[in-house]
Amino acid sequence: MRYVSTRSAPGRRDRLAFDDVLLAGLAADGGLYVPERVPELPEDASAGAGTLGYAELAARLMAPYVGDALGGDELASLVADAYATFDHRDVCPLVELDEDHWLLELFHGPTFAFKDIALQVVARLFDHELGRRGERAMIVAATSGDTGSAAMEAAAGRDRLDIVVLHPAGRTSEIQRRQMTTLDAANVHAVAVDGTFDDCQDLVKAMFADEAFRRDMRLAAVNSINWARVAAQIVYYVWAARRLAGDRPVTFCVPTGNFGNVLAGHYARRMGLPVGRLLIASNTNDILSRLIHTGELAAHEVVPTLSPSMDIQISSNLERLLFELFDGDGAATAALLARFRAEGRATLNSEQHEALGAGFSGDRLDDAETLEVMGRVHAECGMLIDPHTAVGVGVAERCRRRGELMVSLATAHPAKFGEAVVQATGSAPEMPPALAAVADLPERCTSLPDDVTAIKDFVRSARRA
């Protein structure tokens, strides 16, 4: 299996193997890596999904993407180790919400949001590959919430990795901050920056833009543009469909911001999974659902909502789908994105808009509607759901057709967003013990100014020899 950049021209392409794509993250031309060909679902993975455990299924589905970067047994044991950190035997359990409407719970990992599913695997893949090469890497990341703690938890204690995560001081929730600052591992470092999330992101970009620093520190990224994250996320679509339906098509409703999660569903469909439709559920930051309806990509201001992990206006993973809509023409993909960046808007042609609409549909919920869904699900099913999940459930209910089998993706544990849950339902979600424990653990965090020199000095001092 080889990977190409979404901004490369046919015939003049670098074709990289999985291990290089894993460590590179972004391509040198600024594009994202995509597999040259999409493998078919392995026979035994579909037939056996009712009996295979989640980790076994994951190893089979990921194997063609990983290629010979790892032996089959190595991959299987790495993936099994990753999912042993989850607190549910099924890893991603299905819970019935209503007739033919199921919740796929993706929040049973160590940090209680769906980022764990990919990052627990990706950090182990990094560690393995760096070990093989006799190298080390320094992961630097900026976070406004869930990604930081999931990446730190996944990297904690790994031999070959150090990690520094920047968050905007005083602007994350207490529980999110504590998840990052209470980790007891010498190779993980939380930094509170005196600035906003955008300032944190700019600092990370500035570090990557400094070639010498990037090389000397062997900087690495684990953000959602890393192909390995998408590959790991394909698995739960296959898992859910096979458990529920055999060959009956399933429609998935996906609360999304960066388009990473729903893109994995699209790849599962391209591999041959019978997927009815993919529904894109947005909060007020609805650039994706507007794109589907109008064919126009138009940026608005980012508005803070009750579902902060979806407060995004520029969905980086969309580039991978655009590349497909442009028939693999990297120059045309790059031109559309350049226009969007310069002018804040860009338009698909009618053929592309139609192709998009054939595979995807979607809608948006504002905060009031989100709270209403949370209240109703609690009243009718006795179940507490978090605001991100509620955006998905609300859109699923609105878009659902008669006789359609629907799976809504539940992306965070309700206790992670307890305030919104109480506001919507009057009930406080039960705290999982591992989440409750962070309230009492000592915090370790370095406060630094919004200054790239100070941040670089800190990163240098954090890197183990």
Binding site for ligand PLP (CB under 6 A): 113-115, 146, 224, 255-261, 309-310, 388, 411-412
Q: Is 115 a catalytic residue?
A: yes
For ligand PLP, the closer of residues 261 and 305 by Cβ is: 261
- Number of residues assigned to the chain: 465
- What span, in angstroms and rounded, lies between the C-alpha atoms of 54 and 80? 9
Smallest gap, in angstroms, from Cβ of residue 31 to ligand PLP? 18
For ligand PLP, the closer of residues 31 and 260 by Cβ is: 260
Catalytic annotation, pick one of 115, 205, 416, 456: 115
Helix H or strand E segment including 292: helix 287-294
Smallest gap, in angstroms, from Cβ of residue 419 to ligand PLP? 15
Smallest gap, in angstroms, from Cβ of residue 34 to ligand PLP? 16
| 426 dihedral zone (left: phi>0; alpha: psi -120 to 50; beta) | left
For ligand PLP, the closer of residues 46 and 284 by Cβ is: 284
Smallest gap, in angstroms, from Cβ of residue 319 to ligand PLP? 13
Q: Locate 201 and state its tokens.
A: 């992101």
Phi, psi of 52 (to 5 degrees): -65, 145
What would the 3-class secondary structure string for 296-331 be?
A: EEECCCCCCCCCHHHCCCCCCCHHHHHHHHCCCCHH
For ligand PLP, the closer of residues 309 and 333 by Cβ is: 309
For ligand PLP, the closer of residues 264 and 405 by Cβ is: 264
3 state DSSP class of 173: coil
3 state DSSP class of 21: helix
Q: Which amino acid is at 132?
A: R
- What span, in angstroms and rounded, lies between the C-alpha atoms of 159 and 86? 21
Smallest gap, in angstroms, from Cβ of residue 147 to ligand PLP? 7
3 state DSSP class of 404: coil
Burial class (CB in 10 A: 0-12, 13-18, 19+), 247: exposed
The residues assigned a catalytic role are 115
